[in-house]
Amino acid sequence: MKKELLEKIIEKKNKKIEFSIITNLENGNGCIFQKNEPLDKNFEKYKKEIADQFKRKRNGIIDGTNIFVENYISPIKVIVVGAVHISQYLVNFAKNLNFEISIIDPRGYFASEQRFPNINIINKWPKEAFKEIKTDENTALIALTHDPKIDDPALQHALKNNFFYIGALGSKKTHSNRCNRLKESGFSDERIKKIFGPIGIKLGGKSAPEIALSIIAQLVSEVYKKQ
C-alpha cells in the first residue's frame, strides 16, 4: 500500500469518516471510496458494485472480479435517556454490538460512573445534552425515564433530526398520552408513528434484563432494515 493512501486512511479513521478501501488483488492498486465523492478512474467501472457493498457494509471480493472491498463504518450512536435499572443491562448488551453509547440524565445520583463505568454520561437536561453530541440519521434514541420533562425533549430532538430508531418505555396508555403531547407540540401523526412505543419486541418478559433484551433486539432489527 502506498504511503499517500495509508495517510489518507489514517486521517479518515481519526475523523470517523465512513469509507471503503478498494484493492485490485491482481496488481495491488488501491484507492478510497467515499459516498458522494469521485472514484479513482481505474475503479470507475465497478462504482455501482462498490457502492452496493459499502451500503450493505459487506467486505469481500466483487463477484467475477479481482476487486476487494474493505469497509470502515462508524459505530451507530445509541443515546439512552434515563440512567435507570434497565439501562444498566441495556448498556451491557450494546457494548458488545459495536454501538457508541451515551447516557443522558440530569439526575447525577442515577447517572454515575459507578453505575455506568466507561460510558459517556451527560448529567444535563436533554436540550443542553444534545449540544454536546453530534447526531444524524445514524443515531438511535432510547427513552426510559417515564418522566415527560426528560423524555419529551429528547423525543422531539430525535424526531426533528430523523433518528433511524426512536423508542420509549411505558404502557400503551403512557404512550398514548405521550403522543398527544407531541401532537400538541406540532408533530404530525405520521412523524409520531416513527416512535416504537411501548418499546421492544414482544418477548413476554417482565424483568429489567428481559426488557433490555427486547429493546436491543428491536434496535438490531432496525439497524439491518436501514441497510
Percent of the chain with pLDDT over 70: 99
Measured CA to CA, the distance from residue 68 to residue 60 in angstroms comes to 5
- Which residue stretches of 56-171 are H helix? 85-95, 126-129, 148-160
Average pLDDT, the chain: 91
pLDDT of residue 182: 97
Q: Name residue, grid cell 493512501.
A: 5
**Residues near 173 by beta carbon (within 8 Å), at least 6 away in sequence:** none
Q: Please, are residues 208 and 86 in contact by the beta-carbon 8 Å criterion?
A: yes
pLDDT range class, residue 128, cuts 50, 70, 90: very high
Q: Map residue 70 onto helix, strand or coil.
A: strand
The gap from C-alpha 170 to its chain's centroid, in whole angstroms, comes to 22
What average pLDDT does this structure show over 50-75? 90
Q: What is the pLDDT of residues 101-110, one digit of tens each?
A: 999 999 988 8
What average pLDDT does this structure show over 93-112? 88
Measured CA to CA, the distance from residue 69 to residue 54 in angstroms comes to 8
User: Which domains, and CATH codes, for the chain?
Assistant: 3-72 (no CATH), 76-225 (3.40.50.720)
Exposed / middle / buried, residue 124 (Cβ in 10 Å: 0-12, 13-18, 19+): middle
52 versus 226: the higher-pLDDT residue is: 52
* Cα–Cα distances in angstroms (integers) from residue 96 to residues 11, 73, 89, 196, 216, in the given order: 26, 16, 12, 23, 11
pLDDT exceeds cutoff 80 at 226: no
Q: Please, are residues 126 and 154 in contact by the beta-carbon 8 Å criterion?
A: yes
Q: What is the pLDDT of residues 154-208, one digit of tens each?
A: 999 999 999 999 999 999 999 999 999 999 999 999 999 999 999 999 988 889 9
Cell numbers given for 71: 469497509
